[in-house]
Amino acid sequence: MPSPEVEELLQKYKTKIESELGPTVKADDKPITSADYDTFRKSMMPGTASFYEKACNWGEKILKIKPDAKEEAELNKAIEAAHLKVTPTGTTSFSILAPVILGLSGLILSFIIPGIFGKPASTFFIVVSLLSAAILMFPMRSYPKILASNFRMKASNEMVLCIFYLVTYMRHTSNLELAIKFASEHLTGPLALDLKKALWDVETQKFKDIKESMDNYLEKWREYNIEFIEAFHLIESSLYEGNEPRRIELLEKSLDVILDETYEKMLHYAHNLKSPITMLHMLGIILPILGLVILPLLISFIGGVKWYYLAIFYNVLLPIGVMYLGQTILSQRPSGYGDTDVTKMVPSLGKYKYILLNLGGKEYKVHPVYIAVGVAAIILLIGFSPLIANFAGISDFGVGKLDPITTCGKSYCFLDYMVDDQTGKLVGPFGLISSILSLFIPIALALGIGLYHRFRSRNVIEIRNKAKKLETEFASGIFQLGNRLGDGIPAESAFGKVASMMQSTTSGKFFEKVSININKLGMSVEEAIFNPKVGAIISFPSNMITSSMKVLVQSVKKGPKVAAQALLNISRYIKEMHRVDERLKDLLADVISSMKSQINIMTPAIAGIVIGITSMITNILGRLGPMLKGEATGGNIGLGQGVENLFGVGIPTYFFQIVVGIYVIQIIYILTVLVNGIENGADNLNESFLLGKNLIKGAILYSIISLVVMVTFNVIAVLVFNSMGWG
């Protein structure tokens, strides 16, 4: 507590400030934040979080519903963990208000839209609206917890690297606050936000020192990542150790603890992963797609089922369920090693996320979204051409032999619209050519999304892969550099000597670049490495390399012996982290390879075969209907009033394929995100690269298989009918 004299002085100036600026705001009324912290927070939080915050604050004004004490405590923890600017009352109010608005909107549209066409209200849409609203309340209520879980996953992905930075810095400078500042500057994910918030809490005197601030922060991880707390406490313990060898031993022990515990937790995660992945595979892929095989028969017998009923189930409800199940699996992933987007480290590399054109010696940047949308629009036009042709009144035509059953008079029609006996309206297109053209719609969707992600990530991923190649060699390079410094050679000369010893290697090129900048451009070691225009780190952007060189620059100031020891220990740490990382990849190899086969082969192949079979069944049933009525054969095989109405018109293969094709693209997208999350954690750059590759490859494979099976089976069906004299 301040002395009475100090308290009197504080009160005197407080009164004077209030008289000039007005009454001060209480700390409890509004949290103190800095412009830097707010800016960093906005850059780290997804756009959905910002929208969600506004929606919750709006919901709290409209409908104030306060959760019970237990739920409120859990929501407060989730809100604080995700750095959301909302209240438990706001999230609870919005979780009820949003589904109610959705349900009411669905009910109103279920009456209005059919009323425009003179039809009664759609019972299907009424039921879907009410069920969707009821089900949506549960995930909406726990959405802050989902955001907090995603935030924790991204943060825990950097925990090993965070401990590495802290240990590396404190080996030569035993100052916890400076070490945390060093780590927060080199981490690029949510954990950097947390560390900067801990430092800011000390600056605003919320806590008296950094130890108290970090101890308060670490309590949030007690239920989720106890090894991070243990490792950090070992680092704190080294501050009170007077014996230097013992202090270094505690620091090394902290890194060993988090590495070993991470491996053990990942081992359990890999073992427990097989059951939920199998369930995801069966419920989200195999059963829905195989269920499509019997739908054509079921629809033909029952009637009244529209293609958009299937679209709502397969393209809206089912993907949401699969995505939710996938996010649940990802939320249980322990901490690991996540790569970062190198454009966040070196902003000048951001231009490689664009399509670069050199015209007249000047470089122009074209955003990939323009190319992606343009390609998708052209292909979509081809896919929708049957609908456009029918709307424009273009006469139907076909290819093949004369066929009195079809509307175009040929075996294979372009449109082939049929009359629905129940409604008397034309339904279609059922033509094989239209069905083939419908394949362009999922192709357009996949190419549009795939090309966007491919152009945005292709060049950047190449730069990062080159940097990762350097990381694999960097341990030996750092070791040799440390030995040269240990021999008393100045750092300016040591880089050149190591570069000559490691010629034709990626590490050698990095050290050579540093040496050239020093000797030919007259730069200091720090400038040679970190110069924003010609620095060596620009060509090899890596957090690991950057932090190692930062440590080198700072330790060289304390002498070559200190720098040599620092580099030798960095070399050991890098090798140890790489070893554990490889062991983790081995643990997940079976699950990852199985999921990749689903993305690359199984899902597109199964769906393509189903479409081919569906097309054949629809063709056969479409021909049997009029034949059983005796319309096509002059009554030769008419089988009576009961049987002639057995087969309805059914759903055209054109729409059926669009629903399935879009579902395949959605599943490939969801599984790609899931595979990347399991294997690499929160790695947005690699996720974008994989999406670009898998979507294009999967769509092309699906389309080829669908085309081949569809044409083959339809040709066989027509040949069978002709051979029986029914054509």
| Mean pLDDT to the nearest integer, 610-618 | 81
Q: What is the DSSP code (8-state) at residue 66?
A: P
CA atoms of 79 and 76, how far apart (whole Å)? 5
Three-state secondary-structure class, residue 427 = strand
Sorted by sequence, the CB contacts under 8 Å of residue 77 that are 6+ apart come out as: 148, 220
Please report, in angstroms and rounded to a whole number, the separation of the first and last CA atoms in the chain: 101
pLDDT at 422: 59
Dihedral sign (CA 607, 609, 615, 621): negative
SS3 content of the chain, % helix, strand, coil (to 5): 75, 5, 20
Query: Is the pLDDT score of 726 beyond 80?
Result: no
- Above pLDDT 70, what percent of the chain? 81
CA atoms of 512 and 507, how far apart (whole Å)? 8
- Assess contact for 235 and 251: CB atoms under 8 A: yes
Q: What is the dihedral of CA 457, 458, 459, 464, to 10 degrees?
A: 70
Q: What is the chain's mean pLDDT, rounded?
A: 78
More confident residue, 515 or 364: 515
Query: Is the pLDDT score of 446 beyond 90?
Result: yes
Range with lowest mean pLDDT among 113-117, 537-541, 655-659: 113-117
pLDDT band with cut points at 50, 70 and 90 for residue 443: very high
Query: Is the pLDDT score of 220 beyond 70?
Result: yes
| Mean pLDDT to the nearest integer, 458-473 | 77
pLDDT at 26: 43
pLDDT in tens, 319-343: 888 888 887 777 777 655 555 666 6
Query: Is the pLDDT score of 32 beyond 60?
Result: no
CA atoms of 547 and 476, how far apart (whole Å)? 16
pLDDT in tens, 657-689: 898 899 999 999 998 988 888 777 767 788 888
The two structure tokens encoding residue 3: 């002395």
Tell how strand 410-413 and strand 362-366 pair up.
unpaired
Query: Is the pLDDT score of 605 beyond 80?
Result: yes
Q: Is the peptide bond before 114 cis (omega within 30 degrees of 0)?
A: no
Place of tokens 């004369």: 402
- What phi and psi values does residue 422 have, to the nearest 5 degrees? -75, -40
pLDDT at 334: 65
| Mean pLDDT to the nearest integer, 68-85 | 83
Query: Is the pLDDT score of 473 beyond 80?
Result: no
Three-state secondary-structure class, residue 477 = helix
| Mean pLDDT to the nearest integer, 513-529 | 87
pLDDT at 335: 58
pLDDT in tens, 573-582: 777 767 777 7
Query: Is the pLDDT score of 210 beyond 80?
Result: yes
pLDDT at 637: 47
Range with lowest mean pLDDT among 29-43, 56-70, 606-620: 29-43
Place of tokens 């081809």: 382
CA atoms of 474 and 508, how far apart (whole Å)? 9
- Assess contact for 328 and 672: CB atoms under 8 A: no
Give the chain's length.
727
- What phi and psi values does residue 82 have, to the nearest 5 degrees? -90, 0
pTM above 0.75, yes or no: no
- Assess contact for 236 and 176: CB atoms under 8 A: yes
pLDDT in tens, 369-424: 999 999 999 999 999 988 888 888 887 777 777 766 676 777 777 777 776 665 66
CA atoms of 55 and 49, how far apart (whole Å)? 10
pLDDT at 475: 75
pLDDT at 381: 93
Chain CA centroid to CA 339, Å: 14
pLDDT band with cut points at 50, 70 and 90 for residue 632: very low
Highest mean pLDDT among 30-44, 115-129, 179-193: 179-193
pLDDT at 633: 45
CA-to-CA dists, residue 302 to 306, 420, 428, 650, angstroms: 11, 14, 18, 9
CA angle centred on 301, ends 710 and 650, rounded to 5°: 45
Radius of gyration (C-alpha) of the chain in whole angstroms: 32
pLDDT at 260: 78
pLDDT at 38: 58
Quote the longest CA-to-CA distance of the chain: 115
